[in-house]
Amino acid sequence: MSIKIPSRVLEERIKDADKDKAIMDLMDQLIILHESGALDTLVDLALTLKDVSSVITDDMFDNMVVMIRDLLEIMNNIVGNPVIKVIADSINDPKIDRALMELEDNDVGLAKVIGMLRDPDVLRGAYILLTLIKAIGARSKEYLKDHSR
């Protein structure tokens, strides 16, 4: 697809311009692009885009757009999910860092783990994890039923 600027529009744009200065500025910019290697990259990129555009059909492009839309919807569901937010916020809790240090010092025993079960936050977290495990089990049963041979 090429764009042609009407000659009268082009003439009006450049009638008051300092053409020599514009050409020198353009040359300076081209030299900078060439010396940095960016010009070669731009040319390679343009040739690659030309090759890709000649290979990709309208149907392929439409399919890619649908896949990207579906992927964005999935990502939105993940990011907007309150369980994911709770897990992400929990991972950043300083208590996690302390727990990792205790593990490094081999300062964790069965008694400490069982003692944690008295903590209401541990019970709440365990309840959420067990509910998540139950949901995964139910979905896997549906999935296997729908996808069994």
pLDDT tens for residues 26-44?
888 888 888 888 888 988 8
Q: What is the DSSP letter of 105?
A: T
pLDDT tens for residues 129-142?
999 899 999 989 88
Question: What's the pTM?
Answer: 0.43
Asked whether the beta carbons of 76 and 82 are under 8 A apart, the reply is no
Please name the helix (run of DSSP H) or strand (run of DSSP E) that holds residue 54, with its range, or none. helix 38-55
The one-letter amino acid code at 116 reads: M
Please name the helix (run of DSSP H) or strand (run of DSSP E) that holds residue 15, with its range, or none. none
As a whole number of angstroms, the distance between CA 25 and CA 15 comes to 17
**Percent of the chain, pLDDT > 70?**
96
User: DSSP letters along 14-39, please?
Assistant: HTTS-HHHHHHHHHHHHHHHHHHTHH
